[in-house]
Structure 1
Amino acid sequence: MSWLTAEEALQALKTKPQTLYANVSRGRIRAKPDPTDPRRSLYQATDVQRLAERHAGRRKTETVAAEAIRWGDPVLSSAISTIIGGRLFYRGKDAAGFAEVATLEQTATLFWNGAEPLSSSSGTGHASPSLQAAFLALAGRVTSDLPSLGRSQAALRREASGVLYTVADALAPGPSDRPLHLRLAASWQRPDAADCLRRALVLLADHELNASTFAARVTASAGAALSATVLSGLATLTGPLHGAAWQGVGALIETASTLGAEQAIRRTLAQGNRLSAFGHPLYPDGDVRALALLSHFSLPPQFAEVREVGEEMVGEKVNVDFALAAMAAAFDLPREAPIIIFSLARSVGWLAHAMEQIDSGELIRPRARYTGPAPETDNRT
Structure 2
Amino acid sequence: MAERLTTQQVAEQLGVKVETVYAYASRGQLSSERAPGGRGSTFDAREVAELAARGRRAPVRPPAGESAAVDRPGAEAWPGGPVTVRTGLTLIENGRLYYRGRDAVRLAAEHGFEAAVAWLWGQGTDAPVSLRVPPATAEALTRAAAALPDGIRLPDRLRIAATVGAALDPLRFDLREQTVLAAGSALIAGMVEALPRTAPDPGPDATLAARLWSRLATTAPTPEALACLDRALVLLIDHELAVSTVAARVAASARAHPYAVVSAGLGATDGPLHGAASPLAQRMLAEVLADGAVPVVSDYLRTGRAIPGLGHRLYPDGDPRAVALLDAVARLDGGAAVVAAVAEVEAAAGPAGRPALRANIDLALAAMALTAGLPAEAGEVVFAVARTPGWLAHAVEEYREEPLRMRARGSYTGPPPQRS
TM-score for the superposition, normalised by structure 2: 0.72
Decide whether the 8 Å contact of 2:33 with 2:93 is kept in 1. Answer: no
Partner of 1:177: 205
Q: Separation in 2 of the partners of 1:94 and 1:107? A: 11
Structure 1: give runs of 5+ residues left out of the alignment: 16-22, 33-40
Structure 2: give runs of 5+ residues left out of the alignment: 12-20, 35-41, 62-66, 75-81, 147-152, 331-335
Equivalent runs, 1:132-143 vs 2, <5 Å: 132-143=156-167
1:29–1:185 Cα change, 3 Å: closer
Q: CA offsets per residue over residues 4-27 of structure 1, 9 Å max, x none? A: 7228x69x9599xxxxxxx99x99
Range that drifts further, 159-168 or 118-127: 118-127
Partner of 2:377: 336
Deviation, structure 1 residue 31: 5.9
1:258–1:160 Cα change, 3 Å: closer
2:125 is equivalent to residue 84 of structure 1: no
Deviation, structure 1 residue 345: 0.4
Range that drifts further, 358-367 or 125-134: 125-134
The AA in structure 2 aligned to 1:306 is V
Q: CA offsets per residue over residues 36-82 of structure 1, 9 Å max, x none? A: xxxxx99362246659999xxx99984742479xxxx9841111112
2:186 is equivalent to residue 155 of structure 1: no
Decide whether the 8 Å contact of 2:60 with 2:411 is kept in 1. Answer: no
Q: 1:310 aligns with which of 349, 355, 371?
A: 349
Two-structure CA RMSD over aligned residues (Å): 3.8
Q: Secondary structure at the match of 1:239?
A: coil
The AA in structure 2 aligned to 1:160 is G
Q: 1:356 aligns with which of 359, 376, 397?
A: 397
Q: CA offsets per residue over residues 205-228 of structure 1, 9 Å max, x none? A: 100111111111111111111111
2:404 is equivalent to residue 372 of structure 1: no
Q: Secondary structure at the match of 2:314?
A: coil
The AA in structure 2 aligned to 1:250 is Q
Q: Separation in 2 of the partners of 1:74 and 1:289? A: 29
Partner of 1:211: 243
Partner of 1:20: none
1:135–1:180 Cα change, 3 Å: same
Partner of 2:112: 103
2:298 is equivalent to residue 266 of structure 1: yes
Q: Separation in 2 of the partners of 1:44 and 1:149? A: 47
Equivalent runs, 1:228-239 vs 2, <5 Å: 228-239=260-271
Decide whether the 8 Å contact of 2:285 with 2:366 is kept in 1. Answer: no
Q: Separation in 1 of the partners of 2:47 and 2:173? A: 39
Q: CA offsets per residue over residues 251-271 of structure 1, 9 Å max, x none? A: 433443565322322221232
1:366–1:332 Cα change, 3 Å: same
Q: 1:281 aligns with which of 304, 313, 317?
A: 313
Decide whether the 8 Å contact of 2:155 with 2:381 is kept in 1. Answer: yes
Q: CA offsets per residue over residues 227-280 of structure 1, 9 Å max, x none? A: 111111112112100011113313433443565322322221232222222100
Deviation, structure 1 residue 109: 0.9
Q: Secondary structure at the match of 1:82?
A: strand
Partner of 2:38: none
1:74–1:366 Cα change, 3 Å: closer
1:200–1:74 Cα change, 3 Å: farther
Report the number of matched residues.
350
Q: Separation in 2 of the partners of 1:262 and 1:289? A: 25
2:6 is equivalent to residue 6 of structure 1: no
Partner of 1:345: 386
Percent identical among aligned pairs is: 31
Deviation, structure 1 residue 200: 0.3
TM-score for the superposition, normalised by structure 1: 0.79
Q: Separation in 2 of the partners of 1:117 and 1:154? A: 12
Range that drifts further, 154-163 or 366-375: 154-163
Equivalent runs, 1:252-263 vs 2, <5 Å: 252-257=284-289, 260-263=292-295
Range that drifts further, 136-145 or 282-291: 136-145
Q: Separation in 2 of the partners of 1:95 and 1:184? A: 21
Decide whether the 8 Å contact of 2:312 with 2:318 is kept in 1. Answer: yes
Q: Separation in 2 of the partners of 1:258 and 1:120? A: 42
2:52 is equivalent to residue 45 of structure 1: no
Q: Secondary structure at the match of 1:99?
A: helix
1:335–1:235 Cα change, 3 Å: same
Range that drifts further, 296-305 or 352-361: 296-305
